[in-house]
Structure 1
Amino acid sequence: MSIGLFRQAVRNLSRSAGTLPSNGKSSSFRRLFQWLSPGIFVKRWLLTIYIGVLMTILGLAIWLKLTPIFLLFQLVDRIIEFLARVVPHYLSGPIVLGCGLFLVFWGHGRSLGEISKVLRPDGEQTLLDMLWDNRRLNRGPKIVAIGGGTGLSTLLRGLKLYSANLTAIVTVADDGGSSGRLRRDFGVLPPGDIRNCIAALADEEKLLTELFQYRFEAGDGLIGHSFGNLFLTAMSEITGDLERAVVASSKVLAIRGRVLPATLTDVSLWARLADGRTIEGESNIGKSNDQIVEIGCSPANPPALPAAIAAIQEADYIIMGPGSLYTSVISNLLVPEIAQAIAIREVPRIYVCNIMTQPGETTGYTVADHIESIDRACGQRLFDAVLVQKSPPSTDCLQYYAEENSYPVLLDRDDVKQLGRSIFAVNVMEEDPNNRYLRHNSRRLAKALIHFYRRAQDSSPHGNGKVTPLTRAKSAR
């Protein structure tokens, strides 16, 4: 199969490349005074412009020896003197002052409105809203989220509402579906999970997700491929590797945050089962019908992407999951440098446990089993707390999942506490009444995780967010 057409399209798009939604109900009067609020860093420059215009006009008049400027001042003086005689100063002063301020604010309001139309033709956000969102998001914590699959993209979709300093570290061990075919045909790293994360972090998320998830139903060699996978594959061939492809794609698509592969090494997963068998490939591990006792990758100990290590070292907050335990979460931690970088960080570190067990991969697993599996695979402790779903799913939903041999992940509190982890139980689940599926709600999950982070910051005696025993005790309550 050839992707020359897509490569050319990506090249043309690259050349052309160079928040929270507003409710649109705020009044013009209120918005006027919002411009006077501290933190926007606009007022000083507007005032500088006005003073500069006046000084420019005055300097030009003096330079050209324009005598009419004297007459102009004299005329203004006589008008003011006349007004003072006819209208009392306590009336004329405020009137003139009000007229001047009205012209100033009206003029700059209209001009900024025109700028807003250029930046956001849809009119969903004013320039002021964009400035506020930009300032707020840029001040957000530096968050590193580690995982893959739909779980990580769901998490990012919510976190981008709280911070623009996001880094997603994504597994590149996928060998099934469109990603697996592209991996075999072109020798590129699987782009599927990265595609989902890029779409989740984009401002125009809905449209981009539909575009990236679109799968061709006709065409020689195109059937079954998603457009997003072809886009990233073409970018990889143009830029030289997946890392540069993701960076270039992020610029073209104007995403909020960064998406990084855990490694640029072509790795494949293997797992040893309780019956002694060894299975290879991410897609086969997910279908295993026996308990997984050991997991690894080939080649062993792949080098981490330096940018991923740097992101972890600079992070204020590290989140692992949600997602398939072995093939999405642990697969990233099989890169030793990533696991080691997380282990030495003294910042809030939390694992988001799955709501339901995954048939084959985690059948019969409890919350403690998930934690022990991560500890065993990495050989060290990487997180201090675990987020779990508080309330159980509905009966109808449980029956539907039971038919697929999937059940809620049991919270065994005593075992989790013996592992030295605090428990953060919160309702972050949503159910689809039509399709009868359940998953993490992106907004609720992000809100809960930000709440945990802020509480950890407040509980830290040094204000550095380190999760101390005191912090864990408070979180457990």
Structure 2
Amino acid sequence: MSIGLLKHALRKLKSDRGKLAAVGKRTPKQFNRWFKWLSPGLLVKRWLVISAIGVVLTALGLAIWIKLTPIYRLIEFVSAVLGTITNTVPSYVSGPFALALGLFLIFWGQTRTVGSITEALQPDSDRELVDVLLAHRRLNRGPKIVAIGGGTGLSTLLRGLKHYSANITAIVTVADDGGSSGRLRREIGVLPPGDIRNCIAALADEEKLLTELFQYRFQAGDGLSGHSFGNLFLTAMTEIAGDLEKAIAASSQVLAVRGKVLPATLSDVSLWAELADGRLIQGESNITKAKGQIRQIGCHPTDPPALPAAIRAIEEADYIIIGPGSLYTSVIPNLLVPRIREAIANAKVPRIYVCNIMTQPGETEGYTVAEHIRAIDRVCGKRVFDAVLVQRQSPSPQSLLRYAQENCYPVFLDREEVTNLGCRVVLANVMDEDEETGYVRHDPHRLARVLLRWYGGR
């Protein structure tokens, strides 16, 4: 009989312990949410304290003004009630009870208030308001980062960087003359919006939905077929705002973009390239199609004026990142703007170039890392970055075979040559490989993490 009672007691104890553990799992989560409001830097506690002081001073001032005459009896009544309670219930019971009740009402009122505000500001979000505020403060305290480039490479980089800082400025080339951007450029006379569209979508908070919307291409319609919605949107905003810079700023406000996107110049820039076989190729889209070895590259007009806001962003930057992207048609076109390359060269902050993972036919066939650096040096006439980020591991054999059919190969790291050029090498695995298609790209989150780690080490 005693053994049976002992078993029953053990089962009961185990059941009670399980219930306590379940309550323990729920309780800390609620308390953690409350105590998050005590985190430094939220700019909430100081205003609550100031509000409380204001209430006390208001009540005190009102009482002094009316000489307390209307509330004498109220004070006497409250004193009598409190005296009765303390005489009836011991102070060691009534005191803690009143304290606990007051704290409960404060926490309950604050929770319901915050819940109502969260529901109004974020009706469809699962995130707590305190988490949003903490993230907002953390991102606003992030370094001032300037990312320079174009194409899909720059938008990939921005997609990762926006999780570390809200102080991002993307400086984008406007030399594109192919596809939807080229058509709008020729037919309407606007600067090509394609690369800018990609960057805005990448920096937007609602990235997935905006990317789908901005990248949507019309499949039918007279004159609409082939155009992307984002290009048409920016073109319309340019007509309304007066120029592309104002159109980007207005679009960024509407789309809640985290950071800024700026064109390198507002001039109508067109690229030209001289190939090793003597051919002179006009137009950005024709350079890659020419399938030749580029000996020299330039633009018309020869010295396009830089956007003042872009120069200001470079001068105020804490960190400058160049690339990734097509070397001659995405990265270098920004450096053909004299004041931009001079501002980068004169910057006293960490500067890094993100080298491509694979060579590109028609641009960098057979190029090593050192040859990428030399190509940039030739255009700038001097070194404009301190280090180069290189992918550590090669793609899988399946991807290598797929790329070999297009005459593409991994960019070889000739470390000794790079060192002789006075450039530091940062090796890291920042590659994302699509198992189905075999394509390799920079992984935005790994890339941003490595870049910020290097910056922190500097």
- Say whether the fold is shared (TM-score over 0.5): yes
- More displaced stretch, 277-286 vs 444-453: 277-286
- How far is 1:59 from its partner? 4.2
Superposed CA offset, 1:341-397 (max 9, x none): 000111100000000011111111110110000001111110010001111111111
Contact 1:351 1:386 in 2 (8 A): yes
* Whole-Å separation in 1 of the counterparts to 2:27 and 2:429: 31
- Helix, strand or coil: the match of 2:226? coil
* Whole-Å separation in 1 of the counterparts to 2:424 and 2:327: 19
- How far is 1:285 from its partner? 1.1
Aligned mate of 1:453, from 447, 452, 455: 455
* Whole-Å separation in 1 of the counterparts to 2:40 and 2:89: 37
Structure 2: runs of 5+ lacking an equivalent: 1-25
Equivalent residue, structure 2, for 1:165: 167
Equivalent residue, structure 2, for 1:322: 324
Equivalent residue, structure 2, for 1:287: 289
- Helix, strand or coil: the match of 2:289? coil
Aligned mate of 1:176, from 175, 178, 189: 178
Q: Which amino acid aligns with 2:117?
A: I
Number of aligned residue pairs: give it.
433
- Helix, strand or coil: the match of 2:277? coil
Contact 1:388 1:426 in 2 (8 A): yes
Aligned mate of 2:44, from 37, 42, 45: 42
Q: Mapping of 1:55-94 within 5 angstroms?
A: 55-57=57-59, 59-60=61-62, 63=65, 67=69, 69-94=71-96
Q: Which amino acid aligns with 1:74?
A: E
- How far is 1:57 from its partner? 4.4
Contact 1:321 1:351 in 2 (8 A): yes
* Whole-Å separation in 1 of the counterparts to 2:28 and 2:282: 57
Equivalent residue, structure 2, for 1:230: 232
- Seen in structure 2, the aligned counterparts of structure 1 residues 412 and 230 have a Cα distance that, compared at 3 Å, is same
* Whole-Å separation in 2 of the counterparts to 1:403 and 1:284: 22
Superposed CA offset, 1:410-432 (max 9, x none): 01100110110000000010111
- How far is 1:80 from its partner? 2.8
Equivalent residue, structure 1, for 2:370: 368
* Whole-Å separation in 1 of the counterparts to 2:78 and 2:40: 35
Equivalent residue, structure 2, for 1:101: 103
* Whole-Å separation in 1 of the counterparts to 2:319 and 2:356: 20
- How far is 1:84 from its partner? 2.9
Q: Mapping of 1:129-278 within 5 angstroms?
A: 129-278=131-280
* Whole-Å separation in 2 of the counterparts to 1:247 and 1:119: 23
- Helix, strand or coil: the match of 1:286? helix
With the length of structure 1 as denominator, give the TM-score of the two structures.
Answer: 0.88
Structure 1: runs of 5+ lacking an equivalent: 1-23, 457-477
Q: Which amino acid aligns with 1:191?
A: P
* Whole-Å separation in 1 of the counterparts to 2:125 and 2:385: 43
* Whole-Å separation in 1 of the counterparts to 2:359 and 2:258: 31
Equivalent residue, structure 2, for 1:430: 432
- How far is 1:64 from its partner? 5.3
Equivalent residue, structure 2, for 1:117: 119
- More displaced stretch, 37-46 vs 174-183: 37-46
- More displaced stretch, 236-245 vs 180-189: 236-245
Equivalent residue, structure 2, for 1:469: none
- How far is 1:124 from its partner? 2.7
Contact 1:288 1:361 in 2 (8 A): no
- How far is 1:437 from its partner? 1.1
- How far is 1:26 from its partner? 7.8
- More displaced stretch, 124-133 vs 217-226: 124-133
Superposed CA offset, 1:80-115 (max 9, x none): 333333444333322212221221222122112211
Where has structure 1 moved over 4 Å in runs of 4 or more? 57-68
- How far is 1:27 from its partner? 1.8
* Seq. identity, %: 68
